[in-house]
Amino acid sequence: GSGQRVEIRYLREETPLGTAGALALLEPRPTEPFVVSNGDVLTDIRYGEMLDFHARQGAAATMAVRLHEWQHPFGVVETRGTDLIGFEEKPIIRTKVNAGIYVVDPRVLGLLPTGRACDMPEFFRSLQQAGERTVAFPIHESWMDIGRPDDYASAERDLV
């Protein structure tokens, strides 16, 4: 098949504005929901599925989330005062973490602060406070944050 051409344009910040703050500089403004991704994420996420999910949910913004499991290395003790009331041997803690990939509906870009830093979690909080719907898109595909040198080196080893 024939290759597709992609046009890339860069935004230049005078001062660091954060992932969401930089979106206020978009000109022209997008007319359809669009994907925003941190630059230090390696993933096999299906962006089309995330965009479809966002549309089906009728959301103002969607955040990709990934289940993170961590096994506590010790037995955990629960106390009330000095009384021992519970014990769990090396529990597994399950949390959902921000995967650094988002879909934003262009109609809410006006809610962004202009000229000041704003990260995506702060933007999502401001959307929620404005009564807008924000949703989580669970991802199960491979995902790595390579923002730290150790993580980058690990990714290089895994991808060779």
pLDDT digits (tens, 9 = 90+) for 44-95: 889 999 999 999 999 999 999 998 889 999 999 999 999 999 999 999 999 9
The predicted model scores a pTM of 0.80
Task: Name the band, by pLDDT with cuts 50, 70 and 90, for residue 17.
Answer: very high
Burial class (CB in 10 A: 0-12, 13-18, 19+), 142: exposed
- Asked whether the bond before 28 is cis by omega within 30 degrees of 0, the reply is yes
Give the CA distances from residue 39 to residues 11, 42, 100, 101, 146, in Å, rounded to whole numbers and listed in that order. 14, 8, 9, 10, 9
Return the pLDDT at 81.
96
Give the CA distances from residue 102 to residues 15, 83, 146, in Å, rounded to whole numbers and listed in that order. 23, 46, 17
**Whole-angstrom Cα distance, residue 42 to residue 148?**
13
